[in-house]
Amino acid sequence: MKIPFNKPYISAKAEEYMTEALRSQRHSGNNAFGQKAVNFMKQKYGFNEVFLTPSCTSAMEMGALLTGIKPGDEVILPSYTFSSTVNAVVIFGAEPVFCEIDPNTLNIDASKIEAHISPRTKMIIPIDYAGISCEIEQIMDIAKRHDLIVMQDCAQSFGGYFNGKPNGSIPHLAAFSFHETKNMNAGGEGGGLVVNIPEWHQKAYFMQEKGTDRRLVLDGVKSKYSWVDKGSSYLLSDILAAALLSQLESEEEIISKRKQVTDAYYKLFSIFKKKGNLNIYSVKNHIRTNHHAFWVVFDNAGTRSLFMEKLRAFDIFVYIGYMPLHSSPMGAIFGYKPDSLPITEAISERVVRLPFYAGMADEGLNYTIEKMHLVLSEIYGK
């Protein structure tokens, strides 16, 4: 049996909706299914406004443009994240300022953000690793005191909550990923930008529509649209929005299946946690996970390799997670060295992300747990 790292879940209605979108002959962005998906999210999660985009990366770029980011601006973010978090501001000439992570969540350590603030700081981009929210209220407090913008990279955390509030509803801006590796999949590629500042909505409509005021024409306010701002084609095909809607409507089913995976991994690793001196993520009471992922930090890189190799022999594919940005070739260009962020560097050499997808609950979870139990027993003893 082969257990891939990820396998997208196909909702029952996906084909029907996508076919309907295709046949409508109106399947470019912001058409019927896109509007339905946006309304669904606004009603269920209380987002102020949502823009569906081709990817989370492009949602982040749209958010960055919306803030008026410019060369020389500094942006504080964790180094332990995907390249899109940083490139979304670097392509516009901004400079990354990397902050250490909290070993309990691998999210940005909010207590260390303030030390990085300079007169050039423009924004903070925390991420929600593995679907567990960052300490967003503490980060918003810091931002408020220093007049900074917070764009929460919720690539992994759609459907989770912080203090009872849906992820994405608290910061100024939030970006979601609907890539096929995520809980909710918009036909392979897709994203969404939440804009919680009403004064920014019109500018966001313009930016999404290639920097034109086409929105005013659609609203009947103007008869011709023209070039009024920077912008791009931050639009999601209605066929992909149709796939997304089918997933949004299946959220309870998807989450319930994913919860079975979380529970099984927790049960397994609680047996070996102490023996192996393993660090497993913990979820505080005020945070609700969306069951996106499961990670384990081993006591050293050698054990991690051993664990991975032994699982590979059973056709089980685990994943090392991110290569930290600060110690990458681009990090070096911005003046960072591997030891600039020792906590991030040390953890990244020992972390493993386990196979995780909704379908595992139906097929593969028992096999995976059984083989992992075997492997961990071989490494740490029964």
Q: Which residues bind its own copies (CB under 8 A)?
A: 7-8, 10, 14-15, 18-19, 21-23, 25-29, 31, 54-58, 61, 65, 71, 82-84, 86-88, 90-93, 179-181, 186-190, 210-212, 224-233, 235-240, 243, 320, 323, 325, 328-331
Strands 279-280 and 165-166: unpaired
Of 135 and 189, the one with the shorter C-beta distance to its own copies is 189
To the nearest whole angstrom, how small is the minimum distance from the Cβ of residue 157 to its own copies? 18
What 8-state DSSP symbol labels residue 220?
T
Of 168 and 191, the one with the shorter C-beta distance to its own copies is 191
Of 218 and 323, the one with the shorter C-beta distance to its own copies is 323
CB distance 101 to 347 below 8 Å: yes
Amino acid sitting at position 182: K
Of 96 and 171, the one with the shorter C-beta distance to its own copies is 96
Of 208 and 262, the one with the shorter C-beta distance to its own copies is 208
To the nearest whole angstrom, how small is the minimum distance from the Cβ of residue 229 to its own copies? 7
For 360, the 3-state DSSP assignment is helix
Amino acid sitting at position 16: E
To the nearest whole angstrom, how small is the minimum distance from the Cβ of residue 194 to its own copies? 18
Nearest to 112 by CA among 63, 76, 88, 164: 76
Tokens at residue 264, please?
Answer: 């099984």
Of 10 and 283, the one with the shorter C-beta distance to its own copies is 10
To the nearest whole angstrom, how small is the minimum distance from the Cβ of residue 16 to its own copies? 11
Of 224 and 274, the one with the shorter C-beta distance to its own copies is 224
To the nearest whole angstrom, how small is the minimum distance from the Cβ of residue 300 to its own copies? 18
Tokens at residue 334, please?
Answer: 């911005």
> What does the radius of gyration of the chain's CA atoms come to, in whole angstroms?
21
To the nearest whole angstrom, how small is the minimum distance from the Cβ of residue 175 to its own copies? 11
Count CB atoms within 10 A of the CB of residue 10.
16
To the nearest whole angstrom, how small is the minimum distance from the Cβ of residue 242 to its own copies? 10
Nearest to 134 by CA among 77, 179, 87, 186: 77
> What whole-number distance in Å separates Cα of residue 314 and Cα of residue 7?
18
To the nearest whole angstrom, how small is the minimum distance from the Cβ of residue 230 to its own copies? 5
CB distance 235 to 53 below 8 Å: yes
To the nearest whole angstrom, how small is the minimum distance from the Cβ of residue 182 to its own copies? 10
Question: H helices of the chain, where?
Answer: 14-23, 32-45, 56-66, 83-90, 136-146, 201-208, 214-218, 238-248, 251-276, 301-312, 329-333, 342-348, 365-380
CB distance 161 to 177 below 8 Å: no
For 369, the 3-state DSSP assignment is helix
Of 133 and 327, the one with the shorter C-beta distance to its own copies is 327
Count CB atoms within 10 A of the CB of residue 318.
21
Of 243 and 287, the one with the shorter C-beta distance to its own copies is 243
